Amino acid sequence: MPAGRQDKILLLGGGGQLGCEVEQLARARGLSMTVATRETVDITHRLAVRSVIDQGYSLVINTAAFTAVDRAEMEEGRALAVNRDGAGFVAEACRDTGAAMVHLSTDYVFDGTKGSAYVETDPVSPLGVYGRSKAAGEDSVRQACPRHVILRTSWVFGAQGSNFVKTMLRLGRERGEVSVVADQLGCPTPALGLATAVLAVAASSSDDDWGTYHCCGNERTTWFDFAQAIFAEQSALTGETAPKLHPIATEDYPTAAKRPPDSTLDCLAFQARFRQQPIDWRQGLRDVLRELQGGRQVASAGRA
Ligand SMILES: NC(=O)c1ccc[n+]([C@@H]2O[C@H](COP(=O)([O-])OP(=O)(O)OC[C@H]3O[C@@H](n4cnc5c(N)ncnc54)[C@H](OP(=O)(O)O)[C@@H]3O)[C@@H](O)[C@H]2O)c1
């Protein structure tokens, strides 16, 4: 795969939390990257996708997705249009123009009942529309574009966009007490760590690397323990008083979409193949909280 300074890379979904981090990291490393947001390239429009990829890229990174897990239950057509069909349009165009493709997927392709960390060869069994649409998107990419890497990740958080960390901080300021689900397990993933992984894939040069990999934070936890870590770090950083946290069961927090009880991903194959260290989500959390405190601005030059 490419990603030398002379290579042309296209990033789709550049307005999202992962997309923002990939763009900033690429820029910091002096990589040539064209960034498209939903406004400039809607991946559900086959011709728009084709016409931008026809401009000649060696690598296309697709972070664009419909990520609203509960809303997907009500908007199945939209979720499938973006996550299945859109991913397929990107993959087709990559194949036809000779570009390689890096595509993002999710731990929610699994039902969470395995009882140990999922490896890449475990069969998918999504519980909801979002997971089904992402599993279908994986299939679209595999069928259309042999030169692909699919990275399945989980519980992504960063300073940009919406995520659990920012929701917890907001709720903590609005209320003195917050109830958090304590019986779902997974791996938080800092968006910057994931962006680093994406660019490691982009920099790889071996044709043996194509395939599906798991890539997330290093240590599994529950949403409740994650919330505790967020407030402990925030208090240490700012002196803010943490709200009182109450652990609750999934059944006490009804949501439109069913979530997997334990979607822990085993990332050893990814780390070995791309020679990457585990992503330390606790350090990533401290970095994001510091960044939110400092109010980093995202540059937006070089967009498609
Ligand atoms: N966030 C997580 O916890 C998580 C967990 C597991 C896997 N993932 C996967 O990781 C990837 C990146 O997620 P993220 O957290 O960065 O999500 P995000 O913040 O929701 O970003 C997704 C971006 O895609 C854009 N988008 C939506 N529909 C589009 C379309 N039709 N054409 C072009 N762009 C479109 C969105 O634009 P608008 O905001 O304008 O709609 C948004 O900027 C996705 O593949 C996601 O499925 C995320």
Q: Which tens digits make up the pLDDT trace of 138-194?
A: 999 999 999 999 999 999 999 998 999 999 999 999 999 999 999 999 999 999 999
Q: What are phi and psi of 88, to 5 degrees?
A: -65, -40
Q: What is the pLDDT of residue 301?
A: 31
Annotated catalytic residue: which of 57, 108, 130, 213? Answer: 130
Does residue 44 form part of some domain?
Answer: yes
Asked whether the predicted pLDDT for residue 304 surpasses 60, the reply is no
Helices (H), 29-128: 46-53, 71-74, 76-80, 87-97
- The whole-angstrom separation of Cα 202 and Cα 198 is 6
CATH number at residue 30: 3.40.50.720
Is 130 among the catalytic positions? yes
Report which DSSP code applies to 66.
Answer: -
Cα 38 to averaged position of ligand 1 atoms, centre (Å)? 10
Per-residue pLDDT, 5: 40
> Which ligand 1 atom is at minimum distance from the Cα of 189?
3
Asked, for residue 183, whether it belongs to a domain, the answer is: yes
Distance from residue 13's CA to the centre of ligand 1 (Å): 6
Candidate from 11-20, 28-37, 284-293, 295-304 with smallest mean pLDDT: 295-304
Atom of ligand 1 nearest to the CA of 68: 20
Q: How high is the pLDDT of residue 298?
A: 39
Q: How close is the Cα of 131 to the center of ligand 1, in Å?
A: 13
**Per-residue confidence (pLDDT) for residue 297, from 0 to 100:** 40
Q: Which contiguous run of DSSP H or E holds residue 20?
A: helix 17-28
**Closest C-alpha to ligand 1, atom 34:** 38
276 domain residue, yes or no: yes
* Residue at 290: amino acid letter: R
Confirm whether 3 is domain-assigned: no
Q: What is the model's pTM?
A: 0.94
Distance between CA 161 and CA 19 in Å, rounded?
10
- Specify the DSSP class assigned to residue 297: P
Residue 4 placed within a domain: no
Q: What is the mean pLDDT of residues 295-303?
A: 40
Give strand ranges (E) for 96-208: 100-106, 148-153, 156-157, 177-181, 185-186, 189-190
Indicate the average pLDDT of the chain: 93
Q: Could you give the CA distance from residue 300 to residue 89 in angstroms, rounded to a whole number?
A: 25
* Cα of 229 from ligand 1 centre, angstroms: 25
pLDDT of amino acid 169: 96
Count of structural domains within the chain: 1
- Give the mean model confidence (pLDDT) for residues 70-99: 98
* Residue 299 maps to a domain: no
Asked if the structure places residue 135 within a domain, the reply is yes
Please give the torsion angle defined by the CA atoms of residues 3, 6, 7 and 9, in that order, rounded to the nearest 10 degrees.
Answer: 90
Residue 285: which pLDDT band, with cuts at 50, 70 and 90?
Answer: very high
Q: Which atom of ligand 1 is nearest to the CA of 103?
A: 45
Residues flanking ligand 1, CB < 6 Å: 13, 15-19, 38, 42-44, 63-67, 82, 86, 104, 106, 134, 153-156, 161
Would you say the C-alpha torsion 14, 94, 200, 86 has a positive or negative sign?
A: positive
Q: 3-state class of 148 per DSSP?
A: strand
Judged by DSSP in three states, 133 sits in helix
Give the three-class secondary structure for 64: coil
DSSP 208: G
pLDDT interval class at 32 (50, 70, 90): confident
Average pLDDT over residues 56-82: 97
The three-point CA angle 258-247-225 to 5° equals: 90
The pLDDT, as a whole number, for residue 300 is 33
**pLDDT tens digits, 122-148:** 999 999 999 999 999 999 999 999 999
Q: Which domain holds residue 115?
A: 9-294
Predicted pLDDT at 299: 36
SS3 73: helix
Any domain includes 22: yes
